């Protein structure tokens, strides 16, 4: 049976929210549509009103405000790639974006869409959480900001309230003393991650790690932070990292994993690879910070 929906094209955030309020649960936001199109074709999602966010210029930007990086929800994966020379946070996010999709799809797939679809294997989730990112939401009652850590509440489930839209992602304390790295295992370039790990390290003037983020992907219903792995790293100088610290952090990361076996990979493989990928990410961060 042919299915129809009405296509709506707001030009402001307020207009988009107004449409959502007016049409209720039968209206869905549409960003790049790369997840939505598949869901719609598979009949996993249905709607009478499609609110296309593409023509809202105030949602598409990547900019620095002091040491804070702001990424608008409609910035595309390709935008991340193109800005990857700006600073170390964007280098890591640009490298992550280049692992995802194909170049053509990256020009329409958005950062907001990747995070809002809330897949356990979404590639941008681990590095953004590891960097301490916050997410700004806007609804009819106004704005609120929550840690990205709290945004995903289950498989394909977010903390977005009815009629709320994701406005931007806020990455704090971006400087030359930050390094981040994301590593994943996937069968092909257009495949989603079987398992992944992101690490973000911030060092002080004595080249000691003052803040560490270790976040695992595809080993639980949502991305998993590994605080015991982070604690292994905090307080260690870059020079001391070689003395078994990297391996210890990798082990702690795999203990935090809650992997399952499915058609794509076994629980054992995912758990073992968690430590390998975490160690790889830490070493890459140390390499980047070693250059400063
Ligand atoms: C061939 C192919 C390869 C892929 N490869 C990868 C990969 O390697 N890694 C990976 O992580 N993903 C991959 N994906 C999935 C997808 O491309 C990404 O998740 C993409 O970033 C989704 O963004 P989008 O703009 O297309 O979102 P859409 O499909 O438009 O939207 C996704 C969801 O987010 C909601 N939404 C979007 N923006 C907002 C907003 N601002 N506020 C509130 N809700 C919003 C929508 O309502 C919808 O529920 C792939 C998809 C395809 C088709």
Q: What is the pLDDT at residue 292?
A: 63
Q: How confident is the model at residue 190 (pLDDT cuts 50, 70, 90)?
A: confident
Residues of the chain with CATH 3.30.390.50: 178-290
Using the mean position of ligand 1's atoms as its centre, give its distance from the Cα of residue 248 in Å. Answer: 35
Nearest C-alpha neighbor of 225 from the set 251, 197, 247:
197
Residues 144-168: what's their mean pLDDT?
A: 97
Using the mean position of ligand 1's atoms as its centre, give its distance from the Cα of residue 113 in Å. Answer: 4
Residues 14-26: what's their mean pLDDT?
A: 97
Round the average pLDDT of the chain to a whole number and report it. 96
Q: How confident is the model at residue 191 (pLDDT cuts 50, 70, 90)?
A: confident
Ligand 1 atom closest to Cα of 77? 21
Q: What is the pLDDT at residue 188?
A: 79
For 6-52, CATH number out of 2.70.98.60, 3.30.300.20, 3.20.10.10, 3.30.43.10 equals 3.30.43.10
Superfamily holding 178-290: CO dehydrogenase flavoprotein, C-terminal domain (3.30.390.50)
Using the mean position of ligand 1's atoms as its centre, give its distance from the Cα of residue 232 in Å. Answer: 34
CATH architecture for residues 57-171 = 2-Layer Sandwich (3.30)
Ligand 1, atom 47: closest residue by C-alpha: 29
Q: What is the pLDDT at residue 205?
A: 94
Residues 265-292: what's their mean pLDDT?
A: 94
Residues of the chain with CATH 3.30.43.10: 6-52
Using the mean position of ligand 1's atoms as its centre, give its distance from the Cα of residue 39 in Å. Answer: 10
Q: What is the pLDDT at residue 242?
A: 82
Residue-wise pLDDT tens digits, 167-188: 999 999 998 899 999 999 998 7
pLDDT at 84 over 70: yes
Dihedral of alpha carbons 98, 90, 246, 122, sign? negative
Q: How confident is the model at residue 243 (pLDDT cuts 50, 70, 90)?
A: confident
Mutate to test the pocket of ligand 1, among 113, 155, 195 (most ligand atoms within 8 A of CB): 113
Q: Which residues line ligand 1 (CB under 6 A)?
A: 28-36, 38, 53, 73, 100-101, 105, 109-110, 112-114, 116-117, 122-123, 160, 165-166, 190, 192
Using the mean position of ligand 1's atoms as its centre, give its distance from the Cα of residue 158 in Å. Answer: 14
**Token code pair at residue 116:** 């809002």
Q: What is the pLDDT at residue 69?
A: 98
Q: What is the pLDDT at residue 189?
A: 73
């Amino acid at each position: 049976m042919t299915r129809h929906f009405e296509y709506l094209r707001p030009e402001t955030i307020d207009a988009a929210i107004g449409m959502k309020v007016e049409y209720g649960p039968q209206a869905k936001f549409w960003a790049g549509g790369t997840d939505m199109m598949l869901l719609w074709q598979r009949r996993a999602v249905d709607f009478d009103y499609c609110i296309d966010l593409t023509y809202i210029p105030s949602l598409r930007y990547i900019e620095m405000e002091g040491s804070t990086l702001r990424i608008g929800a409609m910035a595309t994966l390709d935008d991340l790639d193109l800005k990857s020379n700006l600073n170390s946070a964007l280098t890591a996010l640009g490298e992550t974006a280049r692992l995802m999709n194909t170049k053509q799809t990256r020009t329409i797939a958005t950062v907001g869409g990747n995070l809002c679809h809330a897949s356990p294997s979404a590639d941008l989730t681990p590095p953004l959480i590891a960097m301490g990112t916050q997410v700004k939401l806007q609804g009819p009652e106004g704005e609120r900001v929550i840690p990205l850590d709290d945004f995903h509440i289950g498989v394909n489930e977010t903390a977005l309230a009815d009629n709320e839209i994701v406005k931007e992602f806020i990455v704090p304390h971006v400087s030359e003393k930050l390094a981040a790295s994301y590593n994943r295992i996937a069968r092909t370039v257009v495949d989603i991650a079987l398992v992944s790990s992101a690490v973000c390290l911030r060092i002080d003037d004595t080249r000691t790690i003052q803040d560490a983020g270790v976040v695992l992907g595809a080993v639980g219903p949502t991305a998993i932070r590994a605080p015991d792995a982070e604690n292994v790293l905090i307080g260690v100088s870059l020079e001391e990292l070689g003395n078994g610290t990297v391996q210890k952090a990798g082990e702690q990361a795999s203990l935090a994993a809650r992997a399952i076996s499915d058609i794509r990979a076994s629980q054992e493989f995912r758990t073992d690879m968690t430590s390998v990928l975490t160690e790889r990410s830490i070493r890459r961060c140390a390499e980047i910070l070693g250059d400063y």
